[in-house]
Amino acid sequence: MSTEHPAPSTQHPAPSTEHPARDVLLSVSHLTTVFDLPGGPVPAVDDVSFEIRAGETLGLVGESGSGKSVTALSIMRLVQPPGRIAGGRIHFKGRNLLTLPEAEMRAVRGADIALIFQEPMTALNPVFTVGDQIAEALLVHDRATRRDATRRAVELLDAVRVPDGAARVRDYPHQLSGGMRQRVLIAMALACTPSLMIADEPTTALDVTIQAQILDLLREMKSAFNLSLLLITHDLGIIAETADRVAVMYAGRIVEAGSVRAILREPKHPYTRGLLASMPGRAPGKRLRAIDGTVPMLGALPPGCAFNPRCPDRFDLCTSAPPPEYEVGPAHGVRCYLHALVDSRQSTVASRQSSVDSRQSSVDSRQSSVDSRQSSVDSHQSSVDSRQSSVDSHQSSVDSHQSSVDSRQSPVDNRQSSDVGPGSSTDGQR
Ligand SMILES: Nc1ncnc2c1ncn2[C@@H]1O[C@H](COP(=O)(O)OP(=O)(O)O)[C@@H](O)[C@H]1O
Ligand code: SF4
Ligand SMILES: [Mg+2]
């Protein structure tokens, strides 16, 4: 889904990003990653496109099982069998990572693009000190001599606010708290000054206070190290506080993407609305509403829109085929048939209105012809009058159709404004 360039509303599928703009650091186009299961290949990531610009934070949000981690692993080319990347392109600094020789890809991993995971204990080696592990990251990429590497490890621990870094370099991972381990992992990720950090649920295993501290640290490091960030989370609250743009993922596809402000204030996809309604602190005094049902299992997607069994707004068209992307605002795209319907109904009414206008003008010109001839033929005049009255009644029928469309449109608007009320706490955070 392309989210970068403002485009007018359209009922046609929007083009995906084919040619990255100059300040685009990472451009993922039509990425498809499948798992070869006994029944055949099934996509965990299906035709996914997005971009990250230099210095930007993109939030990738969705429930567990949506395909977020597989997307991250695909970018790093770390998907293990039975998974494989089946199609698409991943351009990073102008090179397609999917066609790089493995030796060049190893140089990109860690040095240019760093990946940090949810559970630091699994990413850290329990038998080496944290100092040795940070030093190793520098040595692997020839960023320091062995002597310098230890000094640099202390500097990095200081930078990520690990108290008394000079002593902590000699600690083993199990001697540190969860929050401190995550700081060590961030220090390792920063060791080679990458341009892009992918943080996959970096705070999910931490309690709320530590979570806030790690998010503060990520923001601080992003600016100190001039990083771009792909922040993966199931929590829209984290996106609201940290990201510039957001892509909402469901069952392997990006179903809505846009600026954080647009998505939080005017979510267009029923799934995004569901995520917002289940966000603590979103509407103080209102009960949180969980989205009914669960993300479908890989290989068991329902026909049409994958969200249709859980969608409160589904209608006949929704089971026909997966919806294309519709542009619903500047750099705001959504894959949902609701937006096709609104557009086509409005264009039908607009064309009827224009047909009435042209009939009106034809009647006006006949009227003027009658006037110029000054024929005073009463019967002809009365015929023109009756046509005028017929046009008036057609006009009133179009007006009533328009008002019917407006009233069908308004439940969507009303739901939207009740989901995202003007006094909401998250709005105030942007
Ligand atoms: N090794 C694997 N074998 C088979 N299916 C997998 C494997 N890893 C992930 N999947 C499936 O891919 C889908 C996406 O998973 P994942 O990217 O981990 O989701 P998320 O990170 O959004 O929670 C899920 O349906 C998951 O079961
Ligand atoms: S396409 Fe249909 S089922 Fe899917 S989100 Fe939109 S209204 Fe719901
Ligand atoms: Mg995951």
Mean pLDDT, residues 412-417: 38
pLDDT band at 21 (very low <50, low <70, confident <90, very high): low
CA of 279 to the centre of ligand 1 (A): 24
CA 328 to chain centre: 14
In the chain, what is the greatest distance between 2 CA atoms, to the nearest angstrom?
Answer: 109
Around ligand 2, the residues with Cβ closer than 6 Å are: 269-270, 305, 307-308, 311, 313-314, 318, 323, 336-338
* Nearest residue by C-alpha to atom 6 in ligand 2: 336
Distance CA 22, CA 61 (A): 26
Tell which atom from ligand 1 comes closest to the C-alpha of 252: 14
Contacts of range 203-210, beta carbons closer than 8 Å, 24 or more positions apart:
203/233, 203/238, 204/118, 204/233, 204/234, 204/235, 205/118, 205/119, 205/120, 205/178, 206/178, 206/179, 206/182, 210/177, 210/178, 210/179, 210/182
**What does the pLDDT look like over 129-157, one tens digit per residue?**
999 999 999 999 889 998 899 999 999 99
Total count of residues recorded for the chain: 430
Identity (one letter) of the amino acid at 198? I
pLDDT attached to residue 356: 45
Q: Count CB atoms within 10 A of the CB of residue 427.
A: 15
pLDDT attached to residue 421: 32
**What does the pLDDT look like over 370-389, one tens digit per residue?**
344 444 434 444 443 444 44
- β 245-250/253-259 pair status: antiparallel
Confidence check: pLDDT of 244 > 80? yes
**What does the pLDDT look like over 207-230, one tens digit per residue?**
888 999 999 999 999 999 999 999
Distance CA 214, CA 206 (A): 9
Tell which atom from ligand 2 comes closest to the C-alpha of 311: 8
Mean pLDDT, residues 98-110: 95
3-state helix, strand, coil in the chain (%, to 5): 45, 20, 35
> Rg of the Cα trace of the chain?
28
Q: What percent of the chain has pLDDT over 70?
A: 72
Mean pLDDT for the chain overall: 80
Which secondary-structure segment (H or E) carries 283?
none
Mean pLDDT, residues 292-314: 93
Distance CA 359, CA 357 (A): 5
pLDDT attached to residue 262: 96
Identity (one letter) of the amino acid at 262? A
Q: For 126-201, where are the alpha helices, taking DSSP H only?
A: 130-140, 146-159, 165-168, 178-190
CA of 67 to the centre of ligand 1 (A): 6
Confidence check: pLDDT of 403 > 90? no
Contact 60, 230 (CB under 8 A): yes
352: three-class secondary structure by DSSP: helix
Is the model more confident about 293 or about 407? 293
- β 113-116/196-200 pair status: parallel
**What does the pLDDT look like over 320-363, one tens digit per residue?**
999 999 999 999 999 999 998 665 444 444 444 544 455 555 44
- β 228-233/95-96 pair status: unpaired
CA of 85 to the centre of ligand 3 (A): 17
Contact 207, 150 (CB under 8 A): no
**CA-CA distances (angstroms) from residue 136 to 131, 145, 188, 216?**
8, 10, 9, 26
- β 332-334/95-96 pair status: unpaired
Given ligand 2 and candidates 272, 273, 307, 325, which is best to mutate, with the most ligand atoms within 8 Å of its CB? 307
Distance CA 268, CA 261 (A): 13
Identity (one letter) of the amino acid at 146? R
**What does the pLDDT look like over 152-178, one tens digit per residue?**
999 999 999 999 999 999 999 999 999
203: three-class secondary structure by DSSP: coil
Ligand 1 site, residue 354, Cβ cutoff 6 A: no
Confidence check: pLDDT of 112 > 80? yes
Distance CA 281, CA 103 (A): 47
Helix axes 178-190 and 208-224, enclosed angle (nearest 10):
10
Kindly state the DSSP code that residue 77 receives in the 8-state scheme. T
Neighbours of ion ligand 3 (CB under 5 A): 69
